[in-house]
């Protein structure tokens, strides 16, 4: 049996080590969260996650929908850069309300392509609907966000999430 003062020292050192290990564990766990993989997250107005998809810098995120008046396909194309969505181009088949009718466009594959000035977004808020029938395309995956949201509003963000394969 250890003398009382020696036993107190051993217990004290043990407590200090336990506290240090706990702090180290939580610090590393916090770092893992901060260093998590970029992820596209689509939520509805109640905060329910409808889409959770991994993404890498430079990957395209495409919002594809039918123009409500012209009834033609519109594609808003963004890339992921440092946790933001950067709009790189808009592709459309006809000029109509809300489309860049006075902007300089090019024609590619029979469609107009507009390259806007650099615009960065922390989130995209979209009011989906049956006419527009919004789809979100992340990499090779297509998500019918109109159906997933029941035709309601959604928000698209980039978040760091831990656990996605590289």
Asked if the model's pLDDT at residue 28 lies above 70, the reply is no
CA 38 – CA 161 distance, rounded (Å):
6
CA 81 – CA 7 distance, rounded (Å):
56
- The answer to whether 128 and 136 have CB atoms below 8 angstroms apart is no
pLDDT of residue 36: 85
**What is the average per-residue pLDDT within 125-131?**
94
pLDDT tens track for 108-124: 998 999 999 999 999 99
* 119-153 as b/e: b if 16+ CB within 10 A: eeeeebebebbeebebbbbbeeeebebbebbebbe
Residue with structure tokens 């495409």? 62
pLDDT tens track for 58-94: 899 999 999 888 788 999 999 999 889 999 999 998 8
pLDDT of residue 22: 45
CA 3 – CA 50 distance, rounded (Å):
62
Per cent of the chain over pLDDT 70 is: 77
pLDDT of residue 94: 81
Give pTM, 2 decimals. Answer: 0.74
- The answer to whether 61 and 79 have CB atoms below 8 angstroms apart is yes
Q: Which of 75, 67, 49 is nearest to 137 (CA)?
A: 75
pLDDT of residue 39: 95
pLDDT of residue 136: 97
Asked if the model's pLDDT at residue 30 lies above 90, the reply is no
pLDDT of residue 6: 56
- The answer to whether 165 and 82 have CB atoms below 8 angstroms apart is no
């Amino acid at each position: 049996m250890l003398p009382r003062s020696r036993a107190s020292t051993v217990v004290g050192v043990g407590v200090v080590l336990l506290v240090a290990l706990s702090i180290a564990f939580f610090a590393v766990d916090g770092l893992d969260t901060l260093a998590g993989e970029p992820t596209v997250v689509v939520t509805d107005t109640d905060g329910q996650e409808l889409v959770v998809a991994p993404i890498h810098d430079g990957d395209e995120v495409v919002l594809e929908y039918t123009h409500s008046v012209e009834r033609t396909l519109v594609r808003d194309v963004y890339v992921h850069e440092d946790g933001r969505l950067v709009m790189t181009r808009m592709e459309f088949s006809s000029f109509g309300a809300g489309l860049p009718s006075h902007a300089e466009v090019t024609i590619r594959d029979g469609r107009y392509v507009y390259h806007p000035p650099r615009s960065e977004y922390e989130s995209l808020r979209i009011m989906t609907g049956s006419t527009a029938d919004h789809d979100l395309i992340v990499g090779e995956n297509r998500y019918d966000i109109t159906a997933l949201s029941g035709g309601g509003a959604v928000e698209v963000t980039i978040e760091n999430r831990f656990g996605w394969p590289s």
